[in-house]
Amino acid sequence: MPAFSTVIWVLGGVLMFWLIIRIGINTLHGMTQPLPPPPPEGEMRRVNVKYRCSICGVELKMTLAAEQDPPPPRHCMEDMDMVAPVE
């Protein structure tokens, strides 16, 4: 009869093996799903774009826009400049 600790180690190994296989299969399954269709025209889309006024230095963060690449807003009667993300 095997020792109790040996049985626990074997059961723990089988459980870990099953868990790793399930995570791997679910990850691969998630990668094979097609992307959702884009929202209809006129609906707001999530964006994360920052602009800065070159004249007075005011900064603006845009989080929603009607299109993926929105035109720059105007401030001080001039178009604002897009600020590159610091990454």
Assess if residue 39 is contained within a domain.
Answer: no
- Give the span between the Cα atoms of 70 and 47, in whole angstroms: 9
Domain count, the chain: 2
Assess if residue 40 is contained within a domain.
Answer: no
Q: What are the tens digits of pLDDT across the range 37-76?
A: 877 777 787 888 888 888 888 888 888 877 777 788 888 8
Q: What are the tens digits of pLDDT across the range 1-25?
A: 789 899 999 999 999 999 999 999 9
User: Average pLDDT, stretch 32-38?
Assistant: 84
Residues 51 and 24 in one domain: no
Residues 57 and 78 in one domain: yes
Q: Any residues with CB less than 8 A from the CB of 54 and at least 6 apart, and which? A: 78, 80, 81
Instruction: Identify the three-state secondary structure at position 8.
Output: helix
Q: Give the Cα-Cα-Cα angle 75, 76, 80 (nearest 5 degrees).
A: 40
Tokens (6 digits) for 78: 């001039």
Confidence at residue 86, expressed as pLDDT on a 0 to 100 scale: 54
Give the DSSP H/E element, type plus range, for residue 65: strand 59-65
Sorting pLDDT into bands at 50, 70 and 90, what band is 85? low
Q: Which amino acid is at 53?
A: C
Question: What residue numbers bound the domain in which 49 lies?
Answer: 45-83
Q: Are strands 59-65 and 45-52 parallel, antiparallel or unpaired?
A: antiparallel
